Structure 1
Amino acid sequence: MSIAAGTPIVAPKGFKNLAAGVTYYFLRSSPKTERVTLVDFVVRPPKEVVYAKAKIPKRTVAQLPLPVLTRLLRSDWEDAIWAGKVLTGDRKSMPPWLEGLEGVDLVALDAARKDVVKSHQDRVDGKVFSIHALVNDAENVLDNDEPEKLINRHARNQMPPQNETRLRLNFFVYIAFGRNRNALHYPTHQIGHWDRLSAEHANDAKRGAPGVKGAEHGYNATAEMVEKIKSSYARRAEVGATDEKIYEDALTHDFGCKTRWFKRGHEETLDWYHPLGEPFPQKGAYFYYVNKFFRPHLVQATRLGRNRARSKIKPFLGTFTESAWNLLQRVEADAYFVVDLPRGYIEGSDLPPLAVVVCRDTASGKKVGIGFSQGGETGSAYRMAKFCMAIGLEAFALLLGLRIKDSSKGLSPHEITDRGPGATSTALSRDPAFRPVIREGTQSHSGQAKAIVETSNPKTPSDDEAPSFRRSGLTVIELACRELGKLLEFNEATNVASRVDPELEHKVPRLSPNGIWEALDSVGRNDAVLVAFEEAVRAYLDLVPAVLTRGGLMVAGRKYYSKADAFQEALGSVAEKQETEVKVYVLSCCLRHVWFEWNHHLIQLDVRYPIAVSRLVKDMSLAEALEYHQHMAARIAAHDNHRRAAHAHIEEDFKAQTGMSLNSGTRTRGRPKRGGAAARQEAKEAKETAAGRQAA
């Protein structure tokens, strides 16, 4: 059980001042006030408002949820946790009213909006700016005896003054949902979800773009009309049937329409009408509902036939301890080089050493993140370690092909690094929202400034012998997996008894970093900032070029594929023999998976080979994959020369032995002549001889 800011809390039978049936969100367990602060968001019903100067004088407006704080004594809270009187749920990065936007790249989605006076992102920036001072002092705000009054006073002191209820909501939502700026977004996914087919809206103003016969010409679709459209198309769609023919037959036989001549000025044309004046659909509306209720690739397969749709349209289906009392309150990061040199993939030569970046939690002493780079310490390796923290060790290990059990997850608002690559901008998240609130850089050559992580790095003993080196015999990814295994060993085997809080000693199952973590996490002493998996990918992983074809996605000479409908749609957007340059997110130490963005959603793709290959091949690093791709390109070029020479050599040898040309014969106009009886007998004997039989 993990409890941190944003964890949903319920008390099935109620507890103290917690009501049954209400979902609360954990905010803070304060060591200063000895109180636990929770918040619930009360949903209020819509209300009718009247705007004096508005075109529509009366409107029904959805009200924002009302944040209500609830507090408990810390001792009561921890007793309730241990006794199971309160239960926890999974943390989310979005509030309940924005669940439909979970995992969506809202920045890219808003950028696609055209002709807007003020973008949603600018409005969200305004919300974040208005609560910025409160967020930076969040601990003191939540520890205040009357935090609501403090926040209201802050709202009134803004220029211009802000709505007090709205600003309180923004502050508590921002804190409760991982300090994620997207949690302050607007519920744009609920726009346009009113029932267009209800009788209530049937006689509204004509919807859709104006036609050539006027903006109000035609009928709005009704539920009855849509049912007729579905049934008529299902009956008439067949191989060879055109959209024109299907629509014409549907109007005539299903909707009862007729045609007649219309004379307008000097023009005389035929047009559709209904003898009884009943509504019927225009062609655009007809096929809008066809494509809405029937999957597009099935529509194409029906019209063109299964074989042609498969070959021409449908995508291929194959081929850091005193200063910290909560988990992740402060994290130290540092890099070390593995003594053993990795083995080259192609020639087995010794490659540059593997650099390993480790992030270690100050309170528990647990190593919570790991990243890799080859040949030197890089900002990319620090980003990889933060990505590991964001998604958790368990999920990160799975990406390397390992199955482990580990509950650590989330980012720290306070990072400590040295003045190396970890302090540069390349080590930061692409998204400013996920950058640490406090970044502490140590003095140069001052290892004690981040002693927590330095003392846990592997040590290389020195000697006075001749120069030597260690050869591991492992590839880069195998060496990376080995270092991850050593990290897991450290977390479970290291003695950190000095970190045990006497109040929680009876809750610490083991005197290891994992044991400390489990005890602190079980009572909510956790400052982790939650990041959704998709946001972590976009913020921390490397973005590399790739090529999208109808057969899959190519990265560093390797093909990636997924059966997900979204990826099949992406493949279907590529024409035959077309190659589209795209960008994909990769975990550079292991290219088992890549992440491709399509329509603002991420799709995880798996490596795919046309033949069965070992795990070693699938788990290549990015550098290894590029090296192998270049190696094979050189071999293919060499084979082209070999192929041309082989043609000439074999033809010359054949002619020397038989006196005949390997490509003999001349082209003659007309049909072959069989001649008379003698010629037919000769042809029969030649046929029997070629078959290895003697003619009778």
Structure 2
Amino acid sequence: MHIGSQLYAPNGFKSLEQGLVYHFLNNDSQRCRVLLVTFGAVHDQEESSAISPDEKSARVAFLRRDHFEEAIIAEQLLPCTTSAELPPWLGTTTIALLRARRSIAPELSDRHESRIDATLAHLWPAIERLGSILASEKPDYELNKIARASKPRQNLTRFRLAFYSYIAFGMNRWALHYSIQKIGKWDRGATEKKFGRPSIAYGERHGYSACSAEIRKKIIEGYRRFSGQGVHLREVFSQTMNTIFGCVTMTNAQKLKVFAQPNGEPIPTERQFHYVISKEFPLEDRQVIKFGYTRARNRLLASQGRFMEAVGYLMEKAESDAFMVPEQPLGFYEHSLLPNLWVVRSIDMGSGLITGIGFSVGSEISAAYRMAKACQLLDKVWFCSLFGVTIEADEWPSVGGSMHDIVDRGPGATIGAHARSTGWHPIIKELAPSHAGQSKASIETSHPKAVKHEGAPQHSVTSMTIPQLAAREIRRVIMDNQSKNIGTRLNNVAVIARVLPTPIHLWNYLSQMGRSLAVTKQRDEVIREYFTQVEVKVCDGVVYFMEQRFDSPALQDSGFLRIASTRDRHTAYILDVCVRHIFVAL
């Protein structure tokens, strides 16, 4: 037990009352007594004027030493399970809150700090004589002598209160802070006086109070009726004054347009209107109403953390999205502008590695998403060879798809973006909200970015063919996987293991550790489930598709041409933009 220990008597004991908290001050061996103090509301016995029961006060309690020790042993006097940090008149205020207030407005807190310093300066003679004061027969009288001798003379009750508060709460200067928990919380609706700084232009008593329940109700009703997307608060105020408050527009002596109430009823000013709205509706709600949820989320709402924090394995979640290649290819003969190439990318949220790519011409279609899923499942060396791109296995090592697919509400969300067999579909299909790029930020931020030029509209033209553009985008994916900085994705274990902050190195590290949920399939099954199904015809010992002739030694050795010669149409599978390969179903 130490000075300031907080005790209570559950059933009362001798001079101690139940329901009060007592602070231990001194165990005097000379007088064989224990000195305690409790804080609350009492009437002063020495000064002529009585203190109101609502005022702050400190009352000293005496207990014989043997009685005190008896109460401790018999558990008639128990320590408080939760000790208060500050005196009871500070309510639920904590030291942390007082420190925070000082850091928010340091220019204002200096004034309060100086008040505490002044109080401590007057208390210092008493603190220096702490032992003799607590050992005296009447500690309050000794404190009163010091208060009278102070220059200037101190109020006796407040001096004793400050002394006991400072000692009982561990000589903490915050115990001398003024009460703040009720500041600004009194009811202002009971008076018709207008609050705030008096008007210099119109006079001290000009205007009405906006604190009455009736005016606040009308202001809130007006905001709910007239606020909306793109509506400025000034327009809401104008419509509220005309419709709800029944005002008319008039010209005052300064030739300014003002609102006037024909019946002389009280009306708010524009600033009062804004104040009531700010108190009733949080800033986030008002921004969502005016600008829409997407803009408010992008600019105002606090971050909810990184998306990759929700995953711990490779291919636990995969995001897919499409972008348009800005360059337009030229026709081979007439040199007319051909449709743009669209590219679909799929990214692993755990490592940031781009695991799949698909293509379409002219627009974003579901077949491009289906091709990206096929790319995820296939060996990348074989897949890239279909487009004439030669790579090594370690340049794009990912093989396997994800069972949690995240796309936006476009072609990627349709049934055509998935495998033909429902058993191959992802277990979880997550759709991001429309026009909300942050909902799948991993893939959105991985798209190639171009500098926006100012001036007249312009477009880029390239001499590359569409298949050549597709090959270039494949090489871009490989380059991004090897060069993108993903240092924020590395945890301490990966840093200690000296994993380079690139997607491909993090993928290799997690794959080596067995932290992967990727699902793999056989190549023939992937072709049948994800490639685009078409009809071809067999003629002259070869296969024709859209008047283009396809042949290979594997086709000749398969025996398919001898069996298929009696039928006109046969099933085959192709990849969009891949013009040199076709796969015939045997």
Q: Could you tell me the TM-score, scaled by structure 1's length?
A: 0.42
Structure showing greater Rg: 2
